[in-house]
Structure 1
Amino acid sequence: MKRSGSADLPLHGGHVPLWLSERMAQLGLAIVETIAMEFGTQEVIAKLANPFWFQSFGAVMGMDWHSSGITTSVLGALKKSVNPHSKELGIYICGGKGKNSMKTPDELITVGNRTGLNGTELAGLSRLTAKVDNTAIQDGFQLYQHNFIVNAQGDWCVIQQGMNNFTSTARRYHWHSHDLKSFINEPHTFIYGENQGKILNLTAGSAAITREKSLAILQEDPDKILKEVQHLVMPNHHDVRMKDVNMKRLGAMLCVAHENKPEDFESLLMLQGMGPRTVQSLALVSEVIYGTPTRFDDPARFSFAHGGKDGHPFPVPVNVFDETINTLQTAINRAKIGNSDKMQAIRKLSEIAMDAEKNFTPNTNFDALIQKERNESHLYGGRTIFGKAKPPKKKPGDENQLTLW
């Protein structure tokens, strides 16, 4: 397991309103259940261990696309919705924020008693991963959230987050049990946080000699070594800008969703009658479920599924959100009784969008696209933390139609 880098996460205050948190829980459960059904619970664990996927996952659920709040809100929603179905799903989400993070070892022992897994060993792994990121990596971030997700086969991942009060930034750490050979030598799948320059990191591969000499001299745990870590920078600006998005991917998806009706595709007949705005959301949800890791390097793109609770890039279209949830839940229920037609149609959405990219020239009018979403938000039950969306006031020239892609 290698550390692959890190990225900035600006701290965001505020709360997630009930109308959004309930929908996040429902959509999160539906996505997790679909991935487990299609690929197995080990794939759920693997995806959660991927920070790019995790950030995209949060964005598609209406959270602020770049903020640290995604960690707390998404994992809280998943724990609320997934754990009541843990026995049949085979996935257990333990831990949480603040005091709840301290309960993780006890929760894992309970999971062990229910599943036959070695709960004591899992509890030890929980404590060790927290100790490494809180003590062995001296980067100025103090852990305040720790979640341990495990399946019935013993595959696990850890997602934990620390805060730096001096810089008002957060850093998220990802661990994955797959191929983990050492807890002190490059153990992370990823570290997500703000570039602090040079940090003390005894888990670095280049620290091996230092660790050995320190053990010989001091007869204690490995010493720290100075190393500059590469970072992927997440911007501080709250609004979604064109530079944050892969325009070829976004434009091709929008063209498929809005310029072609589902009935134009034989494989999408099970989705006929659905409006293009819901197809847009479903196409992005489909990519979260079926997309390969390389598809998640621009998490901001996934905010075009259900907007953001803060109004960026546009208000959360509640009616579309509900239709997305209902469509996915219906597909899951049909698949459980052997009828996978709707599930295949949902999967085909992302495939068609990806195929469209091959010959697509990015010419999307980005500002017009966002303005159109905001203007029409009231039609879809748009909401933000500030209230419900209202019809826009008409201005001279509004009747002119703009080509969006």
Structure 2
Amino acid sequence: MEYAIEMKGITKTFPGVVANDNVDLQVAPQEVHALLGENGAGKSTLMSILFGAYNADSGTIKIDGKEVNIKDPNVATELGIGMVHQHFRLVHNYTVTENIVLGMEPRNKFGLLNIGAAEKRVAELSQQYGLQVDPKALIENITVGAQQRVEILKTLYRNANMIIFDEPTAVLTPQEIDELMEIIRRLKDEGKTVVLITHKLKEILAVADRCTVLRRGKYIGTVDVDSATEQSLAEMMVGRAVQFEIEKPPAKIGETALSIQNLSVADHLGHMKVKNLSIDVHKGEIVGIAGVDGNGQSELLYGLCGLLPVAEGQVLLDGKDITHTSIRHRVEAGLGHIPDDRQRHGLVSNFTISENCVLKDYYKAPYSNRYG
């Protein structure tokens, strides 16, 4: 059988880590092929090699039966390979359309950039696949979920025949995940070959034809999804029996830890996204905030953490008013924040792990003294 994608004996090492250890992958034409594994199993590294972002230390790649040397993403694009990245490759001060057409800008007969034609095409694709993005919006002003949809549109705009989705549902709501699954089915119906990188078993059972499992950088096996179950896939992924149901005792709810009273917060453009919201969170309690992206969840967190000013209302932490205090004061009072976009807001990527860990305490002993 001639495969659309065939990777043989792929090995890739980084300092102190073997990310891929003699891995094989065979993807049939016009199939949805899931690539399953825990975080750090080597899934994204393998697909980054296929897309030309990394070069393998050893191994071969064949596309439609022909051996190829994918030295960079431009070669992958020419071969009809597209990738929707887990960590977005977007220019934040460009518009949605400018990001999508970057490197493939349409031009008029005078050689000038025809941004109007590009915006029209992006709007058509957005409408066709139900991706709902504003072609003229700046990336820095749209939600993480919308940025993910822009990444999908970048691939669709280039008419790739083989599309890699790297953890595409990580930032999507359940409704958006269902819509994405329908998009993937539609791509298959149109003759596209899809590779879906995920560790979510339900997604694999819902949309994939076959599934290849990686564990700690090694190839474990490939199975037909029709004959697989969540239990069997989970056991292949982790190498042991997995218990899906865990008995938990009732939560022991304590006194109020965080009190949000009649809170209103505007976004960076001045639009009021949180309006007169009141919530009490008690010690020993987990409170979920549900909603489609863009309905005020980010602004609520930013208002609580001091990243956006509070227009009205009050925030009490352990009974003390922190509504208008500094971010440092809130951190010292015990308030933490794990951002939705850890690459953009949570980490300094060229710092070490140790340096990132002490960012909020760098001015304290033993990291600092009176001389700095």
What is the TM-score with the length of structure 2 in the denominator?
Answer: 0.25
- Judging by fraction of residues, say which structure has more strand: 2
The structure where helix makes up a greater share of residues is 1
Q: RCO (CA 8 Å, sep 6+): is it higher in 1 or 2?
A: 1
